[in-house]
Structure 1
Amino acid sequence: MRPFVLVIFLLIHQQVQGQKLTPVASIKTPLGTIYVEFHPETTQHQASFIQLAEAGYWDSLTFNRVIPEFVAQGGCPDTEEGFTDPEYLLEPEIFPHLQHIYGAVGAGRDDNPEKLSARCQFYIVHRKEGVHRLDGDYTVFGQVIQGMDVVDALVHTPRNAQNQPLEDMYLEISILRLSGDQLSDLKNRL
């Protein structure tokens, strides 16, 4: 590492030491990047998402279902394994105040009566009025803080009869750990 770069790194590191860092998901797609802040109440879903992201789980997967005025869904195809393997199921974390508003990020699931989430699958609400018929039935664990223009582009990409994009919309998900100032800057970017 060059001395100048090392000095900058050390200064930045010193600035954020002692500050509480907030994890934020960076979801890179062929159409741009989406940033998601996690809801602190949904500890299991947050920890699971971070663990899968840091393991590179999603890096070869796609947004496999995109429906304007509904959701952009990604993470795993609708397969039986995604909904029956206990390793990939999470207990629901449903809170009345975490609703399916525009930009809400939720966990996919099948019709199981326990409302167990498929931890590998997530969706982003695209409808500006929200999709409140999903409230109380699916876990909302995050909120897009930047990149809804990317979600809009995703849901309007050409798709087949199963609402799968004709061109693969690959995911590359990483976790950023931001200071309060960095988080505010990200939220305030146009």
Structure 2
Amino acid sequence: MISNKKTLLFLLASFISLQTFSQSKRKDYLVTFSTPFGEMHAILHNEAPQHKKNFLKLVNKKFYDGLLFHRVIKSFMIQGGDPNSKKAKEGELLGNGDVGYKVPAEITPELFHKKGALAAARDNNPEKASSGCQYYIVQGQVWNDSSLTKQMARSPLRTYTEEQKNVYKTIGGTPHLDGNYTVFGQVIDNLWVVDSVANQARDKNNRPLKDIPMKITYKKMRKKKITKLYAYSFEE
């Protein structure tokens, strides 16, 4: 009787464990970026697990709430996540704030700098390790065959699929960053918010003349619902 009870408990625990694992496969995190211009939503890539875990940890701690997009360059990208930006004075040079650690590079050829790509900023360390908190979102531009070839030549160790080339020629992005920075997410709606931020007047250090604060939250959601709401297809 005792043996059968133990067996039953073991099987029940195993079933619960399998159910939990199965549910995690069906769900993912939807990240919301709130700005003065509106909201945009993003997913985080499983191909960059350390970056994904670190970003969610910071968002959970409300680390980003009230920070600024402190560096914006039209047709290139918008950057934020400097903790020094929360109470920065007008015109103060930003971009050097951090959290005291780096995240090892997770650069993969499948993840590239198309418009809306969420990527980690970094300094010039040879390992290409990422800042523990600063990130950027790609605006980029659309390239033709000639200009794209020149851009790709700036990342000579990268090879591109025809699909990736077509994305750069239709949706746009910043191909010369490929292979040099970790892409760990993708904005999946309202890319006009990125355009609005990137188009703001800025000073000589590319800081917007008018502060652009952010708030970042996330919630776990069924992948099917994310696909239905935002037409984003998850890779299986």
Which residue is equivalent to 1:43? 49
State whether residues 94 and 139 of structure 1, in contact with CA within 8 Å, keep that contact through their aligned partners in structure 2.
yes
Q: Letter of the aligned partner of 2:95 in structure 1? A: D
1:82 paired to 2:101:
no
Secondary structure at the counterpart of residue 58 of structure 1? coil
How far apart are residue 59 of structure 1 and its match?
0.5
Which residue is equivalent to 2:136? 123
Which stretches in structure 2 are left out of the alignment for 5+ residues? 1-21, 83-93, 142-171
Scaled by the length of structure 2, what TM-score is found?
0.68
How far apart are residue 34 of structure 1 and its match?
1.5
1:101 paired to 2:101:
no
Which residue is equivalent to 1:91? 104
1:133 paired to 2:139:
no
Which residue is equivalent to 2:192? 149
Secondary structure at the counterpart of residue 106 of structure 1? strand
**Please, which moves more after superposition, 177-186 or 158-167?**
177-186
Which residue is equivalent to 2:31? 25
Which stretches in structure 1 are left out of the alignment for 5+ residues? 1-16
Q: Residues of 1 paired with 2:44 and 2:186: CA distance?
A: 6
How far apart are residue 158 of structure 1 and its match?
1.7
Secondary structure at the counterpart of residue 36 of structure 1? strand
Q: Residues of 1 paired with 2:223 and 2:108: CA distance?
A: 25
Runs of 4+ that moved beyond 3 A: none
* Structure (1 or 2) with the larger CA radius of gyration: 2
The superposition leaves residues 13-49 of structure 1 with CA deviations (integer Å, 9 ceiling, x where unpaired) of xxxx947221021010111112111111100000000
The superposition leaves residues 125-155 of structure 1 with CA deviations (integer Å, 9 ceiling, x where unpaired) of 1013321111111000011101211000001
Secondary structure at the counterpart of residue 141 of structure 1? strand
State whether residues 32 and 150 of structure 1, in contact with CA within 8 Å, keep that contact through their aligned partners in structure 2.
yes
1:167 paired to 2:183:
no
> How many aligned residue pairs are there?
169
Q: Residues of 2 paired with 1:111 and 1:50: CA distance?
A: 25
Identity %: 36
Greater strand share, structure number:
1
State whether residues 44 and 90 of structure 1, in contact with CA within 8 Å, keep that contact through their aligned partners in structure 2.
yes
Scaled by the length of structure 1, what TM-score is found?
0.83
- Over the aligned positions, Cα root-mean-square deviation in angstroms equals 1.8
- Residue correspondence of structure 1 range 7-18 to structure 2 within 5 A: 18=23
- Residue correspondence of structure 1 range 59-74 to structure 2 within 5 A: 59-74=65-80
